[in-house]
Amino acid sequence: MSKFIPEKLSVEFMGGVTATEPVIPRRYTLTHSDLTGDLFLTIGVHYAWDKINSMRDEVLGEWKANGNFLFYCVYLYIDQGEYNQNMVAKRNEIFRRELPLALTAIRYGDRFLFETYPHLDQTSIFVTFMSAYPQFARQESWGTFGSYK
């Protein structure tokens, strides 16, 4: 995993979302530059589809509720239009290696929300790996945001 460097993260709030409101709907689009290693986090009521490139290596996330139970969902597009199983396996490996960095960046980038609502650090994170290949398509628990401070 790469080391998180706060100075390499840019955060943008869009569409009526502030640093502390609302929690729902609140969607995250995390992209990056392969050249500089910079991370770009857009937080809004919708995903920032205009920030996503053809590589499809973004991390999408959103808060959801089931009754009084709040949780965070992450969506990763593993295939990227690839139908070569070896390439998909490599992308899966990269996503898994870099996901802790991405979750740390999201937690840090939205730290004022977490300061306002400290209980969010105890919410569960569920990651959906989307793939046409059954061995890569799965949903997993990745702990809580308190692990990614």
pLDDT per residue as tens digits for the range 48-65: 999 998 777 899 999 999
- Nearest CA to 30 out of 68, 93, 84, 72 is that of 72
**Across residues 2-20, what is the average pLDDT?**
95
Backbone angles phi, psi at 107, to 5 degrees: -60, -45
Q: Over 26-64, what HEC string results?
A: CEEEEEECCCCCCEEEEEECCCCHHHCCCCCCCEEEEEE
Q: Could you tell me the domains of the chain?
A: 6-148 (3.40.20)
Sheet bearing 138-144, strands edge to edge? 9-13, 39-44, 27-32, 59-66, 69-77, 124-130, 138-144
The pLDDT assigned to 1 comes to 61
Report the percent of the chain where pLDDT is more than 70. Answer: 98
| Distance of alpha carbon 111 from alpha carbon 11, whole angstroms | 11
Angle at 144 between CA 141 and CA 145, to 5 degrees: 130
Paired sense of beta strands 39-44 and 9-13, if any: parallel
Which element (helix H / strand E) includes 75?
A: strand 69-77
The pLDDT assigned to 80 comes to 72
**Across residues 66-83, what is the average pLDDT?**
89
**Across residues 65-92, what is the average pLDDT?**
90
